[in-house]
Structure 1
């Protein structure tokens, strides 16, 4: 550094010798403008690793009596370095936008306290907040691989801290982006979460010493925090069971029993108590409707299911009256309507001879509309200014996104059947188009799973529109039949989604009537002329997304990658980017679920570069 300073001084003396007159302030200014000194500080991730040029500049600035402020690094995870300002912003975003969906952490606790409790919990919060982090839209993609390694390292060490359970609750509710759904570990992580929780005695918080090698004396606050965490574990586990169409690994026992008027450590907030009641209802529906030991697929018989539907309809009405009477936040109402949709989706298992068949379909129609209208329009009566619809969509949990997709397929199936004559089909058409756009809005990165499922819906919709155009509507959709029944029946209420994908594969992709190759470029709207809709790979005009792909993207290269074209916000994978999420290789052979064999051969290209979602 002394040599660099001497060099600069000699340069100034040489200038003076040539006749230039330099005042002291001008001298220092000219030194600061030196190419050596004028280093780019924004790229200095760690002040302890500054180069000599930056150190010289710092010394020169201090010589002028200033206080040179470099960005201070708060935390590091492998090559990810987080400044204090970014840390503060991310924590604020998490507790402002995401935490209301699952309010169980302490907003008054500092980021440093969360890190001291468990680094995985700290980085889990950061990863959730990074989903829509405008200052750096690539942060989530960059963070995915290091956080995944930290996650499995923590699990491999057999965690004995309930802070690890909290971290798993977050990572199961807002999963990290995955390259394929067959590699989606959420269902596995849910099992780890529940087993870790019971292993350390969260389900028996007042007898915690039965699960510990050392004596633990919990105060009232610590006991309450463990009860709350155990309640959230069951809420998360139930939403995963419902959203993935799998048996839930929940345990509803004495610890989570409803105790009206109880103000002790076992009492939950009204929001969490209501959420727990809603998820307990979903659990009963799944176990009774889809866990029939006498059926190889576990589905209850038609008569039994019709009886259960009547029972659970009344129970849902009582639950709805109880929840709505408490004036709880709209997040609770949203999950209540999702539970109603979960119940009513059983209507697709009925035959047309089932008693009350049309009434059940009408109930399904109303439940679908009720859920969609809340998530699309928001709740104008909630708090100051209400909750806008795009709020729900931008920050939605994985479960809400899955129910949104199920609602979209429900609309699609009902409106392309005989049932369409029983409702306002034009209103339903508009709602379906808005739902497609909403599913795209939930995408964290473009061309991810939800984006492609929306395109698949469009192709089925346009294909059915062409069929109805070629055949008279009254002849096609006048007679009540069993065309709404599902072939896929082992995935609980989400069987509809898998059945719809099967339908697309058999009726469209296999026959060359549909392909997802259209997603290599922005989808273009159809011509207004109905007869020109021969290509079912395009949307009609109301389905054009409000935001297309960034103009800076090129067509995929021969190697399958997308290359930046000078656009801002794009980041290359770098030298080490091929090892995992940093260079996501999207294989859409498995569009929705680990049963990826269902969709083999969907696409013949992979992404090695994933652009951030525009405006995210």
Structure 2
């Protein structure tokens, strides 16, 4: 039997009408045109090839020759000649590579298009990221076959400045992205560090780190100034960006960095780190800094400092900072620390307790500090557990504040936790002596003015307990006089020209003590005690300086410090203090009353601040919302202190919704016939909750629509 008969027999066995063919052949409804194919010169020569392809192709019909790959992909008729091979007319016309492969399989158009779209999206994202990181995109590169994507800091020891997905082998991206350099090219500004949309150059980072270590680090000297910014970033991104945020508070070269970071990027990085259950030693350092200089906020309900302080202390104890010589007890692996590492951990643990005490005292909450053997004072001992003189003095001051808070405001037999009058009077005498000894010991060391300011703040913290006494308490007026001296001494030191940097770069705790001192002055000067003040004008001048100082500590328009300053101004102007009623002559009898006693008594020494706001709200509710006449609302514009008046050309027009002031035709200010507190968030609810002592202050209270300071009413 010859070859043709064999082929014929095979073809007959695979007739389209046979049962096997009927079961296996796919049903395809399309026109078939075989004209000219049977007589193709390559038909006989390709018979052996067709026979070998019967099994993998599942039994082809007889007489149908194979089309090229391109035509098979498109399911089109193909006139390719297999022997001798001649490309089909379609491939010739479209300049396609015409070939026939036995293992060729069609690719679905939809899936192919979807993959192409994904690839295009990925490449576009890579290009966008490369642009954001300082690369120059060459849309039509002259030599795209040899172009490479190079990092501007290719020789850097760290790769954090570039996205690894953009490095090296992505041919599509490297064919589009090149760094223009030399000749007619110019190097674009590249950003070495990026957090979401906040991008910094190497020059920005160097300037910000210099700013931090020059002005902020002296308040908490526990970081290494000689360490490079790159190393801080490698230790933890949160620590790096926290330093950047703090340094940007007064950084004039790029004043928008703080706003850009606090608008979301740093918050997300912070809470993402906290949500991952931080067990990093460097996260604890970052939390110490964040709790000392919180991100600016205009409302205390959005201030997470008290919560973050608790996270800081729990994270610190979780990694064994309170037992630095036995760190392996808190680790899955054996940890051996050298002397420097051990000392650094002891220092960080001391700073954690200082910060925790500041947060407790400043917010009027129980402090989460832990003073034990690790932080015990060891006179004359020199070793890894010995702190620097500055930190040791600061730690002694905060331990004193902790003792005052726990003894005076942690009475288990009182529902508000306040010690009784007799017990508190006895404690006051004891702590006065302790403070004098502490003051003598610290001042003899001739330490920095920062330590002295915190020492004065501790005296204010102690003496503010005088507002808890009743008028019948023995030595009541003497305690108030001690409070007056403590407040004025603290403010005088803070306002010295040599301490200007302390006020400008002050911590959140010092800002809170400044506010408490301002409320103390206001409360004392509007009461019977004003007659006991020898120089009332000095007190008035000091109060004006305090208002300006609180405004100066503001880092953003309408932040909490700014709003507090405006609130105190409103309270001062509403007090209507008459100078004739505050003069005192020897022999005059002072009528002591209980007007200075506090109703809010659950916030430790800071109860004064919350009580003052509570009373302010209560007074204006009693007068009725919107019932003050225009003369009262504009009373603060008469007899003004010229030193507190802002430049007239800096006063923006107030919108009519403010209610209290409206722009005149000549852009001046005129009083509108409404309350000076109209439009300040009271709303129309007659059951408005005026004060909740468990919540923060100023929530929904004030929303100042102006960006210039309100003037103080003259005496």
Pair in the same fold by TM > 0.5: yes
Structure 2 counterparts to residues 55-454 of structure 1, below 5 A: 62-63=182-183, 68-144=186-262, 145-378=264-497, 387-389=498-500, 391-423=501-533, 424-454=535-565
Please state whether the residue corresponding to 2:182 is helix, strand or coil. Answer: helix
Indicate whether 1:485 and 2:597 are aligned.
yes
The whole-number CA distance in structure 2 between the counterparts of 1:594 and 1:170 is 27
Indicate whether 1:535 and 2:653 are aligned.
no
The whole-number CA distance in structure 1 between the counterparts of 2:690 and 2:344 is 38
Please state whether the residue corresponding to 1:298 is helix, strand or coil. Answer: coil
Please state whether the residue corresponding to 1:262 is helix, strand or coil. Answer: coil
The whole-number CA distance in structure 1 between the counterparts of 2:692 and 2:249 is 22
The whole-number CA distance in structure 2 between the counterparts of 1:594 and 1:353 is 26
Aligned position for 1:47: 134
The whole-number CA distance in structure 1 between the counterparts of 2:692 and 2:212 is 28
Structure 1 residues 601 and 208: CA distance shift in structure 2, 3 A: closer
The whole-number CA distance in structure 1 between the counterparts of 2:520 and 2:419 is 21
Tell whether the 8 Å contact from 1:456 to 1:504 is kept in structure 2 after alignment.
no
Shift of 1:278: 0.2
Please state whether the residue corresponding to 2:278 is helix, strand or coil. Answer: coil
Please state whether the residue corresponding to 2:554 is helix, strand or coil. Answer: coil
The whole-number CA distance in structure 1 between the counterparts of 2:634 and 2:241 is 46
The whole-number CA distance in structure 2 between the counterparts of 1:307 and 1:209 is 45
Please state whether the residue corresponding to 2:321 is helix, strand or coil. Answer: coil
Structure 1 residues 59 and 259: CA distance shift in structure 2, 3 A: closer
Shift of 1:303: 0.6
Aligned position for 2:64: none
Give CA deviations for 1:414-456 in whole Å, capped at 9, x if unaligned.
1111111111111100000110011000000122211121121
Relative to the length of structure 1, the TM-score reads 0.77
Shift of 1:46: 2.9
Higher relative contact order, chain-length normalized (CA < 8 Å, sep 6+) = 1
The whole-number CA distance in structure 2 between the counterparts of 1:410 and 1:103 is 31
The whole-number CA distance in structure 2 between the counterparts of 1:472 and 1:168 is 47
The whole-number CA distance in structure 1 between the counterparts of 2:356 and 2:345 is 16
Structure 1 residues 81 and 552: CA distance shift in structure 2, 3 A: farther
Structure 2 counterparts to residues 463-482 of structure 1, below 5 A: 463-465=574-576, 468=578, 478-482=590-594
Alignment length, in residue pairs?
A: 515
Structure 2 counterparts to residues 507-518 of structure 1, below 5 A: 507-508=619-620, 511=623
Tell whether the 8 Å contact from 1:338 to 1:371 is kept in structure 2 after alignment.
yes
Tell whether the 8 Å contact from 2:408 to 2:418 is kept in structure 1 after alignment.
yes
Q: Which has the higher helix share?
A: 1
Indicate whether 1:459 and 2:570 are aligned.
yes
Relative to the length of structure 2, the TM-score reads 0.66
The whole-number CA distance in structure 2 between the counterparts of 1:76 and 1:356 is 60
Tell whether the 8 Å contact from 1:292 to 1:299 is kept in structure 2 after alignment.
yes
Shift of 1:62: 2.3
Please state whether the residue corresponding to 1:76 is helix, strand or coil. Answer: strand
Shift of 1:313: 0.3
Give CA deviations for 1:152-188 in whole Å, capped at 9, x if unaligned.
1111111111100000000000001124211110000
Give CA deviations for 1:2-42 in whole Å, capped at 9, x if unaligned.
xxxxxxxxxxxxxxxxxxxxxxxxxxxxxxxxxxxxxxxxx
Shift of 1:232: 0.2
Structure 1 residues 601 and 55: CA distance shift in structure 2, 3 A: farther
- Which is higher, the Rg of structure 1 or of structure 2? 2
RMSD over aligned Cα, in angstroms? 3.5
Shift of 1:542: 2.3
Please state whether the residue corresponding to 1:81 is helix, strand or coil. Answer: strand
Shift of 1:332: 0.5
The whole-number CA distance in structure 2 between the counterparts of 1:210 and 1:407 is 45
Structure 1 residues 335 and 312: CA distance shift in structure 2, 3 A: same
Between stretches 486-495 and 507-516, larger displacement belongs to: 507-516
Give CA deviations for 1:50-85 in whole Å, capped at 9, x if unaligned.
4659999x9997226xx9454331210011101111
The whole-number CA distance in structure 1 between the counterparts of 2:206 and 2:626 is 46
